[in-house]
């Protein structure tokens, strides 16, 4: 068990505490050895992520066969998987080659919504479960369980290993412009200091030209070594600096961009604007597969020891859906999980690393809501990680006028109407007081011409 997972339920209380109390508690927490904070698995995954880059094909394949078999065996303990595996005529105990995985049924987000509790391994104590939810880039709210002391320490170790390719070192000062809520008021504070990680948390909700001087002042005072941001936030900051002539009076080591698509031209722009290398990666809250750019190559490489990746059939543009099987999560393994994310595989591989290589992530474009005061809110930042979407089949934002948003939700069989007000409160906390929010229950969501779910329907440009 890790101390971080044990304290995770108190995270919202920590974030809401006064800054002096946060700073004191954070410094005490950061003084605790990493082996206690993140758990013993953290060191194991650190070594694994470091070593795998030099493994040969045979070593990687043997690791993956063993890891997939262990995930299949753990999954087969759960009623949902036991029934599905029996119907497909597969036996995890006889799994001996990666090719055999194609015989196992695919898993969808709808399966997680409808059968989550039946997908849990009953042999693992409930105290080992960490419940997480995400609205996801597709707008389909999904809840699932991670393995305490395993899933999050593993994520931490692999992210740090990725970032190190562009100069990051554990303990470096980092400025973060992602989904951190510093204030639900349009004119509220833009930052707070997270002493648990030596990070400056800056609001991605308040980043406008009007308030840009506050961001520049905060950054110049903190002098981070790295900027960790949504690509959309990093681009907004860079363009704002260019338009206003404001300057950062320190040199960044890297710009770390995740959770949204980052086009090649946008990456080159960021690198020129900040005079630092940018790093982009692909991952998701379900912790199934993870890919990051190389040290010199901007292609993305899937970690073979993090999870097993497959790809669906090419669509009309040659893009293929990511299908993943999770490793190490014995509580709730996800087997052949359809992520809904699409990739363009590398046609001319750089082959910098011994890993599956892709050219770019497609289908994760920036989507924004616009407030009455002109603030642009990335929907990536609106993703919820608590239970307010539990029981919903799909959600969708509609916007036709600045500051006015309709939030449509499609109830599932387990939805309780008593959750409406909690959902409203949670959304308004994210959006802020310069939005008028209307909640509408619907029976079906508007989709694209290709039948894909849309997270946002807007007439604003």
CA dist list (Å): 36 to 28, 40, 137, 272, 303: 13, 7, 33, 40, 25
If we measure between CA atoms, which residue out of 298, 40, 332 comes closest to residue 166? 298
Q: What DSSP designation does 52 have?
A: G
DSSP β-bridge partners for residue 325 = 308
Q: Residue range 397-419: average pLDDT?
A: 87
Alpha-carbon gap, residue 293 to 254, rounded angstroms: 13
DSSP β-bridge partners for residue 401 = 404
Whole-prediction pTM: 0.82
Q: Residue range 117-133: average pLDDT?
A: 94
Q: How confident is the model at residue 450 (pLDDT cuts 50, 70, 90)?
A: very low
- Asked if the model's pLDDT at residue 97 lies above 90, the reply is yes
Which pair of structure tokens corresponds to residue 230? 């949504």
pLDDT of residue 12: 78
Which pair of structure tokens corresponds to residue 6? 């044990």
- Asked if the model's pLDDT at residue 369 lies above 70, the reply is yes
Q: Cβ-count burial of 449 within 10 angstroms (0-12 exposed, 13-18 middle, 19+ buried)? A: exposed
Phi, psi dihedral angles at 155 (to 5 degrees)? -60, -45
* Strand spans (E) along 248-290: 254-257, 278-282
Alpha-carbon gap, residue 264 to 56, rounded angstroms: 30
Question: Quick check: 324 and 424 in contact, CB under 8 A?
Answer: no
Q: Residue range 392-412: average pLDDT?
A: 87
pLDDT digits 0-9 by tens, 18-60: 888 888 888 888 888 887 888 878 999 999 999 999 999 999 9
pLDDT of residue 448: 57
Sorted by where each begins, the domain ranges of the chain are 368-458
Which pair of structure tokens corresponds to residue 133? 């939810």
Alpha-carbon gap, residue 2 to 155, rounded angstroms: 13
pLDDT of residue 225: 98
Question: Quick check: 173 and 252 in contact, CB under 8 A?
Answer: no
Q: Residue range 109-121: average pLDDT?
A: 93
Q: Strand 404-411: give its sheet, edge to edge.
A: 436-441, 404-411, 392-401, 456-458
- Asked if the model's pLDDT at residue 9 lies above 90, the reply is no
- Between strands 142-147 and 436-441, the pairing is unpaired
For domain 368-458, the CATH class is alpha beta
């Amino acid at each position: 068990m890790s101390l971080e997972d044990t304290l995770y339920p108190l995270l919202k209380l920590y974030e809401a505490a006064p800054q002096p109390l946060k700073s004191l508690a954070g410094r005490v927490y950061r003084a605790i050895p990493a082996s206690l904070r993140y758990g013993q698995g953290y060191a194991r995954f650190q070594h694994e992520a470091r070593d795998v880059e030099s493994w040969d094909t045979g070593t990687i394949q043997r690791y993956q066969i063993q890891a997939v078999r262990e995930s299949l065996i753990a999954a087969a303990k759960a009623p949902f998987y036991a029934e599905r595996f029996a119907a497909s005529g597969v036996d995890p105990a006889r799994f001996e080659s990666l090719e055999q995985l194609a015989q196992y049924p695919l898993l969808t987000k709808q399966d997680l919504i409808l059968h989550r509790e039946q997908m849990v391994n009953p042999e693992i104590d409930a105290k080992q479960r960490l419940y997480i939810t995400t609205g996801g880039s597709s707008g389909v709210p999904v809840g699932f369980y991670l393995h305490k002391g395993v899933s999050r320490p593993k994520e931490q170790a692999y992210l740090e290993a990725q970032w190190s390719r562009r100069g990051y070192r554990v303990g470096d000062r980092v400025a973060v412009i992602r989904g951190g809520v510093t204030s639900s008021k349009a004119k509220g504070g833009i930052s707070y200091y997270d002493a648990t990680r030596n990070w400056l948390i800056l609001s991605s909700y308040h980043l406008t030209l009007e308030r840009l001087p506050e961001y520049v002042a905060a950054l110049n005072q903190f002098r981070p070594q790295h900027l960790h941001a949504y690509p959309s936030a990093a681009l907004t900051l860079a363009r704002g600096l260019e338009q206003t002539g404001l300057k950062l009076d320190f040199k960044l080591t890297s710009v770390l961009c995740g959770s949204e698509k980052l086009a090649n031209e946008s990456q080159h722009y960021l690198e020129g604007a900040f005079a630092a290398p940018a790093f982009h990666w692909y991952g998701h809250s379900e912790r199934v597969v993870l890919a990051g750019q190389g040290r010199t190559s901007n292609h993305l490489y899937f970690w073979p020891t993090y999870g097993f990746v497959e790809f669906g059939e090419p669509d009309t543009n040659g893009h293929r859906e990511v299908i993943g099987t999770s490793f190490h999560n014995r509580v709730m393994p996800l087997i052949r999980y359809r992520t809904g994310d699409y990739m363009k595989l590398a046609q001319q591989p750089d082959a910098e690393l011994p890993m599956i290589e892709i050219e770019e992530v497609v289908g994760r474009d920036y989507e924004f809501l616009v407030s009455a005061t002109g603030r642009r809110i990335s929907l990536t930042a609106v993703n919820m990680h608590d239970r307010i979407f539990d029981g919903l089949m799909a959600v969708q934002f509609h916007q036709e006028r600045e500051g006015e948003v309709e939030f449509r939700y499609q109830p599932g069989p387990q939805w309780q109407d008593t959750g409406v007000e909690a959902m409203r409160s949670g959304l308004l906390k994210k959006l802020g007081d310069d939005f008028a929010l209307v909640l509408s229950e619907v029976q079906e969501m508007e989709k694209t011409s290709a039948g894909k779910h849309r997270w946002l329907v807007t007439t604003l440009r």
